[in-house]
Amino acid sequence: MATSVQGVVARRKGEPVSLETILVPEPGPGEARVRVQACGVCHTDLHYREGGINDDFPFLLGHEAAGVVESVGEGAGSLAPGDFVVLNWRAVCGECRSCRRGRPWYCFSTRNAAQKMTLSDGTPLTPALGIGAFAEMTLVAAGQCTKVDSRARPEAVGLLGCGVMAGIGAALFTGEVGPGDSVAVFGCGGVGDAAIMGARLAGAHTIVAVDRDPRKLEIARELGATAVVDAASEDPVEAIRALTGGFGADVCIEAVGHPEVLKQAFYARDLAGTVVQVGVPTPEMRIELPMIDFFGRGGRLKPSWYGDCLPSRDFPVLVDLYLQGRLDLDRFVSETIPLSGVEEAFAQMGRGEVLRSVVVLGR
Ligand SMILES: NC(=O)c1ccc[n+]([C@@H]2O[C@H](COP(=O)([O-])OP(=O)(O)OC[C@H]3O[C@@H](n4cnc5c(N)ncnc54)[C@H](O)[C@@H]3O)[C@@H](O)[C@H]2O)c1
Ligand SMILES: [Zn+2]
Ligand SMILES: [Zn+2]
């Protein structure tokens, strides 16, 4: 029987979200029901509400979450009720052409629950990124649940489910930052700050943080930036060259999602360096570069989907690093709020007041 719980729904484009009763079906084959304990408020949730992702309203928002498995359907593998899990939005299929070639982090056919959660009148909901975790309970594909050490704080490690993993992975996996590298990170929100932490974990020598908001630059310094550049008052390209012996950084990570910033990242890079684009553009954005610069500067330009992570491989390791005190995920939790606080959290995000507001549900 379906279970009715409270969830945060975006009913129409641009309208404030509302707390609604939703119905969560019992898990079918390959599915799991999870009691959500914590879920971060990410920019992508706001993009959904504003119709920036697609028009499949109503949306059940929330996708950076941790919780406990309540029940599983057949074929859920080793996943069992009681497991403490972080949810992921790229459950790899193991069968597509990319998985078969041994590159599951690019999986072209990632899995979600087959059944729909609905409003109480039966209207089907579209869960954000196939998760929908601003709810007391959600239904996902079993592969979207990654079991991690249950001693971790859900509000901190749930953030690995999206922005923090995307940022850490942008540095570690997409950018392949290594010991002694110089790195510049453009945009120091949750994603950029996580990229800074990833660069630090990888042994980067110089980590330059770029943002237009001095409050963000201060936090970036706390998390490991060795220098900061205020893009509102300085030219980031010149500043980064000056900080890297006149050459530019080995790896430049764009974590804003803006063509001008991508251009800055392109030119702030040393010859044969790497540009990683983890910020998400809108469909109308365009970039134009002299082809001679594209060729002449060499190196690599790499988009980063979810930090090229593999949740089953990476979440447990990162949770262990967190428990050892080597990954300060707690610093990302600016405040904890109830389900009814999501709309206000969007406003705070717009004003740049928070890294992450995190919805915490009764335990
Ligand atoms: N690739 C992925 O898998 C993935 C996953 C999650 C999020 N994202 C994307 O990453 C981006 C960042 O997400 P977030 O949660 O950190 O957002 P955020 O809003 O918290 O942070 C963005 C930061 O960029 C700064 N900024 C804005 N314009 C700037 C400019 N011109 N120069 C320098 N800094 C500037 C802002 O002050 C802010 O600190 C978004 O586009 C988001 O959609 C991508
Ligand atoms: Zn696949
Ligand atoms: Zn997200």
Cβ neighbors of 153 (< 8 A, separation 6 or more) are: 38, 329, 330
Taking the CA of residue 264 as reference, the ligand 1 atom at the shortest distance is 32
- What pLDDT sits at residue 1? 86
Whether 125 and 188 map to the same domain: the answer is no
- What pLDDT sits at residue 310? 97
For residue 315 the two structure tokens come to 């979440």
Whether 134 and 252 map to the same domain: the answer is no
Q: Does some domain include residue 310? A: no
Taking the CA of residue 43 as reference, the ligand 1 atom at the shortest distance is 15
Name the pairing type of β-strands 182-186 and 64-72.
Answer: unpaired
Q: Does some domain include residue 78? A: yes
- Measured CA to CA, the distance from residue 254 to residue 135 in angstroms comes to 32
Helix (H) or strand (E) segment spanning residue 100: helix 97-100
- What pLDDT sits at residue 363? 56
Q: Does some domain include residue 340? A: yes
Domain enclosing residue 24, as ranges: 3-161+328-360
By most ligand atoms within 8 Å of CB, the mutation choice from 228, 280, 333, 356 for ligand 1 is 280
Q: Looking at the chain, how many residues does it have? A: 363
Angle at which helices 190-201 and 214-222 cross, to 10°: 30
- What pLDDT sits at residue 119? 98
Q: Is the dihedral of CA 301, 172, 165, 72 positive or negative?
A: positive
| Nearest ligand by distance to the CA of 279 | 1
- Measured CA to CA, the distance from residue 313 to residue 267 in angstroms comes to 34
Residue nearest to atom 43 of ligand 1 (CA): 280
By most ligand atoms within 8 Å of CB, the mutation choice from 43, 275, 314 for ligand 1 is 43
Residues with CB under 6 Å of ligand 1 are 42-44, 162-163, 166, 186-192, 210-213, 216, 231, 255-258, 261, 278-280, 304-306, 352
DSSP 161-227: GTHHHHHHHIIIIIS---TT-EEEEE--SHHHHHHHHHHHHTT-SEEEEEES-HHHHHHHHHTT-SE
- What pLDDT sits at residue 52? 86
Cβ neighbors of 331 (< 8 A, separation 6 or more) are: 193, 219, 222, 223, 355
Q: What is the CATH number of the domain that holds 103?
A: 3.90.180.10
User: Are residues 71 and 59 in contact, defined by beta-carbon separation less than 8 angstroms?
Assistant: no
User: Are residues 117 and 125 in contact, defined by beta-carbon separation less than 8 angstroms?
Assistant: yes
Q: What's the gap in Å between 358 CA and the centre of ligand 3?
A: 12
Q: Does some domain include residue 320? A: no
Q: What is the CATH number of the domain that holds 186?
A: 3.40.50.720
Whether 279 and 176 map to the same domain: the answer is yes
Whether 254 and 300 map to the same domain: the answer is yes
Whether 37 and 153 map to the same domain: the answer is yes
Whether 183 and 125 map to the same domain: the answer is no
pLDDT along the chain (363 residues), means of 10: 96 96 98 98 94 94 98 97 98 97 97 98 98 98 98 98 97 98 97 97 98 96 97 98 98 97 98 97 92 97 97 98 96 96 95 93 75
Helix (H) or strand (E) segment spanning residue 346: helix 342-350
User: Are residues 269 and 299 in contact, defined by beta-carbon separation less than 8 angstroms?
Assistant: yes
Whether 63 and 135 map to the same domain: the answer is yes
By most ligand atoms within 8 Å of CB, the mutation choice from 186, 256, 275, 304 for ligand 1 is 256
- What pLDDT sits at residue 282? 84
Whether 157 and 9 map to the same domain: the answer is yes
Residue nearest to atom 25 of ligand 1 (CA): 187
Whether 154 and 7 map to the same domain: the answer is yes
Domains in the chain, number: 2
Whether 32 and 103 map to the same domain: the answer is yes
Q: Within 10 A of 139 (CB to CB), how many other CB atoms are there?
A: 31
Whether 270 and 211 map to the same domain: the answer is yes
- What pLDDT sits at residue 42? 94
Whether 289 and 259 map to the same domain: the answer is yes
